[in-house]
Chains A and B, each alone.
Chain A
Amino acid sequence: MDRTEASAFDVSRTSFLLRAPVSRSYANFIGRKIFLFLVTMQELGAFALITLGVCARKLRRPVPLIRELICEQIARCGVRLLPMFLFVALALGFLVIGQTVAVLAQVGAIQWLGSIMVVAVVREIGPLLAALLVLARVGTANVVELGTVRALGEVEALEALRIDPVHYLVVPRVVGLMLGTFALTVYLILGAVLSGYIWAFLQDVPIRPGEYFSQLAGALTYPDFALLALKTAAFGFVIAIVTCYHGLARPLPLDAVSNATVRAVAQSIVGCVLLDALFILVYLNV
């Protein structure tokens, strides 16, 4: 009985696409890129489903060790990044919000401040910038760490000890990145809004703090809060899945870890931007 259960899109069966010489036909070149994109999407989707399946199954019998690992990852993806995020929040407030407030005051359109800030900062710049910073600081480290773990045979050691590698290595990172990205986005937005007012104040823009913050609060709706949480958690999920997949999914020689990191960063950015586009459609219909 043949028990080989290789996927139709197993890398050993599709890597010929990468090795094949670049076609001189433009249509073939585009076709190959599209096929590779679909293969990558399928592999990432399968990895995401496996991870969600493990999360769901293990919830019934939680392991205290995994809870500790999740706390470590939350500290790593959230608390330890807070100083950098506060710095970026200050910069964002000074560079973008403060200047926007000043320009709106000059043209007499200060009544649009709340709407502009909610669209620009709460819905778009805040979550996307937070996701990119988390990707740079934590996502890249994930690929290197997990790639090294795979290259040194530690995954096989976990399996030999009957420890599920997805449960031990991936689940804490996924949960940590989802919660960390959400929390850091909230801090980033609050810091940027606050520093934006400070910048406007320093430029003698005629707007009082009460007016500034009440305009912001008035422009926010309940769906904004819910969608912000959903969107940032989804960004964290995409970053975690893509980076863990590239670190773990296949055995890597140590010298291939850097290339895997580059691929993971590029695919995470594409994933987050596509997700962002999806949320724009949701915002337009809310």
Chain B
Amino acid sequence: MSPARPAPAGALLEMRQVSFGAMRDQTQPVATEVNWTVCAGEVWVVAGPQRSGKTDLLLFAAGLMPPLRGTYRCFGVEMPVTGDAPLEAFPPVALVFDGGQLFNHLSVADNLALPLRYHERLPADAARRRVEPLLEATGLTPWAERLPQTLGRNWQKRAGLARALALRPQLLLLDNPLGGLDARHRAWWLTFLGALARGQTALELPPVTLIATDDSFEPWMGAATRFALLHEGRFTVIGDRAALHACTDPLVGELRQRELPTGACGPDTALSERQS
């Protein structure tokens, strides 16, 4: 467990002595006494065994449930923001769900357009023009009119990513983004996330701070800048890549070396550039 320390300047996310519950039963604590600070420009990977609460951590970080104890601030705003607040009152955080969690009655393009149509009150054709660059950047243009259930998991996850980017977030939370992908798609994700982190996508987004969860550190060894472990209700900040290599915790060692079922593609060069 990480000790509480003052938040450095530029912290986007600050948790102090936080306990949070599960989404299905918010009174049931998933992790306690979490102290975590995420600064702009960092790429975090939170790993842990399955059912350790990684998804609940991201749902909580996205402001979908209140903390049971402690204080959680995101972009200086105490979370969660509730009531009838306008979009501007919410911190610019977006969440990419593991399965994409697309709306099955809407086409892929309409899924991406939904937040724009709701928050910016755009008519359908104007929203459609706004999502075309997103479809193009994520390679979804050929499937824009398809319903989500007709797409494979690889493309559903990509559509979930594109939808999360529609509101131009500065902090992107990704739940198991590489899980269940084939090697080609995994390589695309690592490359695209690297470009997002540097602000070098065709979408003209500023650099986006990333927090991803995974069952293993292995595919992120050359990609992420900061690492943390979530296991048995304890959230442990490990540190940078050197600290991850130096960590003697047997579980961290196992997660460092664990191969993903579909085969990892190795460190991504685009993301590795960020380390230097």
Contact = CB atoms under 8 A, between A and B. Distances in A.
Interface string B158-196: 000001100100000000000000000000000000000
Given A63-B118, A162-B87, A156 B23 contact: yes
B59 to A, nearest CB: 7
Interface string B31-65: 00000000000000000000000000001001010
A154 B64 CA distance: 13
B134 interface: no
Nearest to B117: A65
Interface string A160-201: 111110001000000000000000000000000000000000
Contacts of B24: 251
Contacts of A63: 118, 121
Contacts of A1: 69
A255 interface: no
Contact of B115 (A2, A57, A161, A251): A161
Interface stretch (B89-97, B136-144, B264-272): B89-97
Contacts of B99: 153
A154 B103 contact: yes
A4 interface: yes
Contact of A156 (B21, B68, B101, B104): B101
Contacts of B114: 65, 161, 163
Contact of A160 (B25, B95, B123): B95
Interface bin, chain A: 20 to 34
A230 interface: no
Contact of A3 (B68, B90, B167): B68
Interface in A59-95: 63-65
A152 interface: yes
A23 interface: no
A19 B129 CA distance: 53
A5 B118 CA distance: 28
A153 B97 contact: yes
A156 B59 contact: yes
A63 B114 CA distance: 12
Given A160-B94, A161-B115, A163-B114, A12 B67 contact: no
Interface in A1-55: 1-6, 12
B211 to A, nearest CB: 14
Given A3-B67, A64-B121, A65-B118, A157 B26 contact: no
B23 A12 contact: no
B66 interface: yes
Contacts of B62: 160
Contact of A2 (B68, B95, B163): B68
Given A1-B69, A65-B121, A163-B118, 17 more contacts: A3-B66, A3-B68, A4-B27, A6-B27, A63-B121, A65-B117, A65-B118, A154-B101, A154-B103, A154-B104, A157-B101, A157-B103, A160-B59, A160-B62, A161-B94, A161-B167, A162-B119
29 contacts: A2-B68, A3-B68, A4-B21, A12-B25, A57-B84, A58-B84, A63-B118, A63-B121, A65-B114, A152-B104, A153-B97, A154-B101, A154-B103, A154-B104, A156-B59, A157-B97, A157-B103, A160-B62, A160-B64, A160-B94, A161-B94, A161-B163, A161-B167, A162-B87, A162-B90, A162-B119, A163-B115, A163-B118, A251-B24
Interface of B: 21, 23-27, 59, 62, 64, 66-69, 84, 87, 90, 94-95, 97, 99, 101-104, 114-115, 117-119, 121, 123, 163-164, 167
